[in-house]
Chain A
Amino acid sequence: QKEVEQNSGPLSVPEGAIASLNCTYSDRVSQSFFWYRQYSGKSPELIMSIYSNGDKEDGRFTAQLNKASQYVSLLIRDSQPSDSATYLCAVYTGTASKLTFGTGTRLQVTL
């Protein structure tokens, strides 16, 4: 079983819709959770971090964490074509002192 799993996609949503990206992780002692956006040919850009159960909102982005079920999700409201990118989920476990990344979900926002 992979440590951090994401559906590779592509996930296709129409402009203006809500995009929902999901991620599950296997290590129960994971402490911190991150979403990165990566455009083709560019490096990953940190867009959300979440440390406790519940929702965290930042503009059009909402991160949701459920430690009991070991999943973290990212909602993008009012999706725009500029949101088309690969979204990487990352999990930090203190004992390993490093991030573990999923392989990413490719999002396509269509006009």
Chain B
Amino acid sequence: DVKVTQSSRYLVKRTGEKVFLECVQDMDHENMFWYRQDPGLGLRLIYFSYDVKMKEKGDIPEGYSVSREKKERFSLILESASTNQTSMYLCASISRTGVRHEQYFGPGTRLTVT
């Protein structure tokens, strides 16, 4: 069973704080992703990573950074949290078997910035 875990289900932070969201997968997956999801806007890709120390910008990277020091862990960092970063944050990883690949999501972190 694929398992993707996220460090917190709910988080409340103040404007200007540095925020760390952690994601861990236990299946040796290479590709990992961070999304945010907002009503009416759907899922939007922030950053993704193909391997340790590799990162690629997604569609909305501004205001975010990421870290992938170990294969199983992909961290999303909000350098200086702002109220417009209040959202549901979803981590995902891809399972590959031959040409087939399937993406699995963690449970999500609902972040509120006040």
- Residue ranges of A at the interface with B (Cβ–Cβ < 8 Å): 32, 34, 36, 41-46, 49, 51, 88, 90, 92, 97-99, 101-104
Contact between A104 and B42 (Cβ–Cβ < 8 Å)? yes
Dominant secondary structure of chain B at its interface with chain A = strand
- Please judge, given known A-B contacts A45-B105, A46-B104, A51-B100, whether A97 and B33 are in contact too, CB under 8 Å: no
Contact between A51 and B43 (Cβ–Cβ < 8 Å)? no
Residue from A32, A41, A42, A98 in contact with B100 in the complex, judged by beta carbons closer than 8 Å:
A32
Total number of B residues with any Cβ neighbor in A under 8 Å: 22
27 contacts between A and B (CB under 8 A): A32-B101, A34-B103, A41-B110, A42-B107, A43-B107, A44-B90, A44-B105, A45-B105, A46-B102, A46-B104, A49-B100, A49-B102, A51-B99, A51-B100, A88-B43, A90-B103, A97-B31, A97-B50, A98-B31, A98-B45, A98-B48, A99-B103, A101-B42, A102-B42, A103-B41, A103-B42, A104-B42
- Residue ranges of B at the interface with A (Cβ–Cβ < 8 Å): 31, 33, 40-43, 45, 48, 50, 58, 90, 99-108, 110
